[in-house]
Structure 1
């Protein structure tokens, strides 16, 4: 059966679950009717239902009617959700994709008590516009299922397969990283406003400049310092600004933030007894 014909249940219709659903449909590989979103408060999914997606508050029912189960819930919700759906899980039919922070494949298999195939994926919210950076790990899953999951996320951005022990690091760099880069754009916007631009204009200018910087690196497969060298002249304004930022710990703060997020991600899931 091709991936386009498989039914998908996204357990957890929050921001990431909705972004994933929208991205999958935007890719042209899935129709809204192929995807069921679950959430306790279904009114939050009214807009998705109007777009043709299915919605339910019954996780077990959603699992029973799907082929691919995507876990898009908080770590502290995981054990209760797995306990609720275990009766509906068919190890020979269902493929689990977990985007739950800090949860290992073995944790899910152990809690379900069934030898299901589980692949971990860590996308970010840019998946809604098909610009996610998604890291995937699932060395014990079949080649066919790993290829299927890669195909899903390739359609909504870039993917890279990594070892599972690096998934929490991927969470900090790619998923949390969205917020870090957005905060830097906000700071640039505030700087632009202080030097004379209207806030809306400063935001547009800062965001496009950030997009251009990232595109340079991806297009030329270049190192950031190579591109920085092209805009820093002796005694110039760019190097003066860069040095001032470094004097105030710009790079150090970003590195420390990523390390802190990675450490926190490791601590989010606590197994119920």
Structure 2
């Protein structure tokens, strides 16, 4: 792979660096991370031994791929900073929430742009990355798919679905973790020590997801396998539904979706 510059060394950027390095697709000298925080960059250098820079223009000098990994409110200043230094053959990959390809091309009109939305599971090569591109990026899209498939699963989608992909795939990490926390708390109330409850709940969650993934079944099919007539499982499931579990999750997802559509 040709050199990669990552503009933004926050949690998502660090997760991507970690995943890409362990995949073997990039060497440490092929990745440059830029940001304004010297303290943060020092930590990234110590952890991953990649090249770091406080200058975005310096970071992109020798990069074929430029990954924009900043908050929406930071994007305008970043694009303004690099627009005089960027070359037409450099490829932009954007993780920026709520900002479309056309919006980026208004500033950098000669550069191709592909949008991606990975999640922090990237650090464990367990990311779910949704990818969207225009028709003129066919060849580049294949490379971006290859890049992000090394840190988890990828799915190419239409760009109008990128907002929904951010909620379901990226925010979804937090949603599932909140449910996991509740399971752990329930385990503690039943008598397990916190670390014991966490071991059981985490492994159970991993098992549940793996059953659906590897068996290619609907969750309800796997639920049916562990619910017996008048049993404790169906009793618990029904009580959760009486208390609004499914409805609350759907409402939470949609609230997040409404919020993301208002972010500019």
- TM-score band, normalised by the shorter chain? over 0.9
Count residues with an aligned counterpart: 263
TM-score if structure 1 supplies the norm length? 0.94
Residue 10 of structure 1 corresponds to which residue in structure 2?
A: 6
In the alignment, which of 218, 226, 246 is matched to residue 231 of structure 1? Answer: 226
Note if 1:43 corresponds to 2:39. yes
Residue 250 of structure 1 corresponds to which residue in structure 2?
A: 245
Shift in Å at residue 80 of structure 1? 0.9
Residue 63 of structure 1 corresponds to which residue in structure 2?
A: 60
Using the alignment, how far apart are the partners of 1:255 and 1:34 within structure 2?
A: 42
Using the alignment, how far apart are the partners of 1:66 and 1:163 within structure 2?
A: 27
Using the alignment, how far apart are the partners of 2:136 and 2:148 within structure 1?
A: 16
Using the alignment, how far apart are the partners of 2:223 and 2:134 within structure 1?
A: 38
Conservation of the 8 A alpha-carbon contact between 1:117 and 1:140: no
Residue 30 of structure 1 corresponds to which residue in structure 2?
A: 26
Deviations 1:212-252 (A, max 9, x none): 00000000100011110111111100000001111111111
Between 43-52 and 194-203, report the one with greater CA deviation.
Answer: 43-52
Residue 158 of structure 2 corresponds to which residue in structure 1?
A: 163
Note if 1:125 corresponds to 2:120. yes
TM-score if structure 2 supplies the norm length? 0.98
C-alpha RMSD of the superposition? 0.9
Query: Gaps spanning 5+ residues in structure 1: where?
Result: none
Deviations 1:182-225 (A, max 9, x none): 00000000000000100011011101100000000000100011
Between 122-131 and 134-143, report the one with greater CA deviation.
Answer: 134-143
Shift in Å at residue 139 of structure 1? 2.5
Matches within 5 A, 1:104-123: 104-112=100-108, 114-123=109-118
Residue 180 of structure 1 corresponds to which residue in structure 2?
A: 175
Query: Gaps spanning 5+ residues in structure 2: where?
Result: none
In the alignment, which of 83, 86, 90 is matched to residue 80 of structure 2? Answer: 83
Residue 197 of structure 2 corresponds to which residue in structure 1?
A: 202
SS in 2 for 1:111: coil
Residue 142 of structure 2 corresponds to which residue in structure 1?
A: 147
Which runs of at least 4 in structure 1 moved beyond 4 Å after TM superposition?
Answer: none
Using the alignment, how far apart are the partners of 1:12 and 1:268 within structure 2?
A: 19
